Amino acid sequence: MEEKALKFAAVFLPVLALFVCLFLPFFPRLHTWAEEAREARLAEAEFAASQQEMEDLEIKEETDSGTGAKGQLNLRLPDGVDGSKVHIRNDYVTQTIRIEIPGTDLAYFDSYPISGSSSHIDTMSYTKEGDEGVIEIVMDRVYELDMDYDSDYYYFNFLKPHDVYDKVVVIDAGHGGRAAGATKQGIREKEINLAIVLELHKIFAESDEKIGVYFTRTDDGNPTFDQRVQLANKSEADLFISVHNNSLGNGRMSRTNGTQVMYNETSEESRMFAQICLEEVTKALGSRDKGLVEGNSIFIIRTSEVPVALIEVGFMTNQKELELLATSEYQRQAAEGIYRAILRALAEGV
């Protein structure tokens, strides 16, 4: 019996050692994929829970060059409803235009109140919420709205972002909602990521650059991974940045610190952009340069059709860096570094 056990061990142990040597490099990726899959399920569940049941709404194709010809899409106003009372929200992340019309009954929706061209529309639906009628139009890509109204109609024209802005940038605050990211000493990564992005939002608001900036979230929402990356793809953005913070895989506090940037290794533009981000953020923070990291294991990186950089601003598993990341001053400095990286990348034609 002992001899058989020894023979088995002699065969099994080398095979096990070979297996470990071959697959050890993939273990971190397996952890990344598992964590990404968990967060994807959370985001998709949150999105599904936010949706309401709606009825399909048909569009009347416009053939008359007279009435309603001012817009690509024309909404006939209900009798007695002034256009100033209609509330419209353009959700760039989901490419959904929500129109809230006061004093609307169900018969209004049966009368084909929308006419024009459906070439930009994926779906159109309606529902009743109290005294309001709600129309949701899901577009085929990101559009800016050029709107006007008179006593009879509300008019919509759809402009591509590059028709409005010289350059277009999409900025993503990683995690959100029930996906907290790394959590250390009561500090949650999702909140640091968002705080940095909100500082960046202020910087762009104060600048005079003609750059269209779209944010995947400016609150504790949790867009799906696909919604985040499609905001970049469907706006034909020039650059796509995702802001995160790092931690060791075992979650233990350590001396490891500094800034890393992930990129798409199949795209030279992504690598160049990531390098610029690394240089500018470390310069702004005085943080350690931890280098570039190949990032195609990350969904939003490998599916981005535009130059992408995922910035790991600092390590939450380093005590000093964690304390810095929790301060508004450090968050502002990180945002300034990202802002300068964006301007430099656009100037250098990445």
pLDDT tens across 192-217, in order? 999 999 999 999 999 999 999 999 99
What the block records as the tokens of 39 is: 């967060």
Dihedral of the alpha carbons of 330, 334, 336, 340, in degrees to the nearest 10:
150
d(CA 301, CA 295): 6
- Per the model's pLDDT, the better-predicted residue between 38 and 294 turns out to be 294
| Confidence grade of residue 20 (pLDDT, cut at 50, 70, 90) | very low
d(CA 302, CA 313): 20
User: Which has the minimum average pLDDT: 65-69, 160-164, 277-281?
Assistant: 65-69
d(CA 56, CA 195): 39
What local confidence, expressed as pLDDT, does residue 3 receive? 60
In this prediction, what percent of the chain has a pLDDT beyond 70? 86
| Confidence grade of residue 23 (pLDDT, cut at 50, 70, 90) | very low
User: Using CA of residue 14, residue 19, residue 25, residue 27, what is the dihedral sign?
Assistant: negative
d(CA 56, CA 85): 24
Phi then psi for residue 135, to 5 deg, are: -115, 130
What local confidence, expressed as pLDDT, does residue 317 receive? 98
Cβ neighbours, 10 Å, residue 224? 22
What local confidence, expressed as pLDDT, does residue 39 receive? 78
Is domain 163-347 given the CATH code 3.40.630.40 in the classification? yes
Kindly calculate the radius of gyration of the chain based on its CA atoms and give it in whole angstroms.
25
d(CA 74, CA 213): 28
- Per the model's pLDDT, the better-predicted residue between 53 and 217 turns out to be 217
What local confidence, expressed as pLDDT, does residue 69 receive? 59
Average pLDDT, the chain: 90
99 pLDDT more than 90: yes
pTM of the model: 0.87
100 pLDDT more than 90: yes
What the block records as the tokens of 79 is: 């009798």
Strand partners, 132: 102, 129
d(CA 58, CA 61): 9
Rounded alpha-carbon distances, angstroms, from residue 7 to 17, 19, 20, 21, 123: 16, 19, 20, 22, 66
Percentage helix, strand, coil for the chain under 3-state DSSP, each rounded to 5: 40, 30, 35
d(CA 274, CA 282): 12
What local confidence, expressed as pLDDT, does residue 45 receive? 77
68 pLDDT more than 70: no
| Confidence grade of residue 53 (pLDDT, cut at 50, 70, 90) | confident
- Per the model's pLDDT, the better-predicted residue between 184 and 10 turns out to be 184
50 pLDDT more than 80: no
d(CA 229, CA 223): 10
Kind of pairing between the strands at 87-91 and 73-76: unpaired
What local confidence, expressed as pLDDT, does residue 8 receive? 54
24 pLDDT more than 50: no
Chain-centre distance for alpha carbon 36: 15
Arithmetic mean of pLDDT, 2-13: 56
What local confidence, expressed as pLDDT, does residue 31 receive? 47
State the residue for tokens 């706006």.
Answer: 235
- Per the model's pLDDT, the better-predicted residue between 345 and 9 turns out to be 345
Arithmetic mean of pLDDT, 132-160: 96
For 177, residues 6+ apart whose C-beta sits below 8 A from its C-beta are 42, 43, 46, 190, 220, 221, 222
pLDDT tens digit string along 225-250?
999 999 999 999 999 999 999 999 89
135 pLDDT more than 80: yes
* Exposure string for 27-62, b = 16+ CB within 10 A, e = fewer: eeeeeeeeeeeebeebbeebbeeeeeeeeebebeeb
Strand extents, DSSP E, 27-163: 55-56, 60-61, 73-76, 87-91, 96-102, 114-116, 121-129, 132-139, 144-149, 153-159
What local confidence, expressed as pLDDT, does residue 66 receive? 46
Q: Provide CATH 3.40.630.40 ranges for the chain.
A: 163-347
Phi then psi for residue 258, to 5 deg, are: 120, 180
Arithmetic mean of pLDDT, 100-123: 93
| Confidence grade of residue 1 (pLDDT, cut at 50, 70, 90) | low
